[in-house]
Structure 1
Amino acid sequence: MEKVKEYFKQWNMEDRILEFDVSSATVELAAEAVGCEPKRIAKTLSFMVGDKAILIVVAGDARIDNPKYKAQFSTKAKMLTPDQVIDLVGHAVGGVCPFNINSDVTVYLDDSLKRFTTVFPACGSSNSAIELKIEELEKYSDYSSWVDVCKVKI
């Protein structure tokens, strides 16, 4: 989380990071800690495409749709292992976020997020989050593009 706080200092936003006394490592725990619906938690999923790590930020109630993923990235969805996430992305599982990550990681935002005004991504630890407007998420995640690779649970 210190790495992410440092990142947000350049915009004087480090004080907007929420730190909890409880775990926010899962969508359900994060929603409980924040006090919002689980679908507004912006979870960051990590995958391997070829020999490169990518992150896809999706809504809390969204799941990867394998045919859509394959159509977008021309490969099967292959999630990183917890060790790979630390090495290749720079954050540990439970706190993975699109902020202050390793420079060779590409970030995508999934269309499942577009139905919300604000969402809550993690901030590098399993007990943190920040509320961001979608436009802020675009700016601070340094995303590559929007993708449509999920299905939403009904």
Structure 2
Amino acid sequence: MGVAAVRDFFASRAPDVEIIEQAASVTTAIEAAKTLGVGAEQIAKTIALRTGDRVILVVASGTSRIDNRKVKDRFGVRPRILPADEAERLTGHPVGGVCPFGLATPIAVFCDASLLRFVEVFPAAGSRTASARLSPERLAALADAEWVDVCA
């Protein structure tokens, strides 16, 4: 899966979106920002959470943190971050490359309002060495995401 699944996803749903190949492998928003030459807040990090018996993906600004109270208020339960192996199995993407595109299994996607202050954001694209560039609104539309406010 990984970047190949993301390429296939964009080829069929958004052929104008280019995948940016990075020379360095990155696993954090700060590393990705340095590699791409943008601020860490413009990195659209994707966090895999378990909310009760449901797994969700939250896409948020790279400098935002999940606010457990806001997640509990929105979803009715306290969230737990998925272990790396489970996140990779369910998304098809390794940690550092998790994104809401080309998923291995259907997972509900939520975009945090922290992304809306930017014209462009840079989500991972299925690997630690690939990213995409698109507007937050387009990211949400392509991921069939619902907008939420669950970060601090």
% same residue: 40
Residue of structure 1 equivalent to 2:95 = 93
Distance 1:118 1:87 in 2: 29
Residue of structure 2 equivalent to 1:104 = 106
Deviation string 1:46-102 (CA, Å, 9 cap, x unpaired) is 001222210000001100111111101111110100111022222111100000113
> Which segment drifts farther, 28-37 or 99-108?
99-108
Instruction: Give runs of aligned pairs for residues 5-84 of structure 1, distance below 5 A.
Output: 5-10=7-12, 11-13=14-16, 16-84=18-86
Residue of structure 1 equivalent to 2:151 = 150
Secondary structure class of the residue paired with 2:56: strand
Unaligned runs of 5+ in 2: none
Paired letter, 1:12: P
Secondary structure class of the residue paired with 1:63: coil
Given that 2:52 and 2:79 are in contact with CA atoms closer than 8 Å, whether structure 1 keeps it comes out as: no
Count of residue pairs brought into register by the alignment: 149
More strand by share: 1
Given that 1:53 and 1:89 are in contact with CA atoms closer than 8 Å, whether structure 2 keeps it comes out as: no
The TM-score normalised by the length of structure 1 is 0.92
Paired letter, 2:16: M
Paired letter, 1:147: V
Distance 1:2 1:13 in 2: 16
Unaligned runs of 5+ in 1: none
Distance 1:80 1:54 in 2: 10
> Which 4+ runs in 1 deviate beyond 2 A?
none
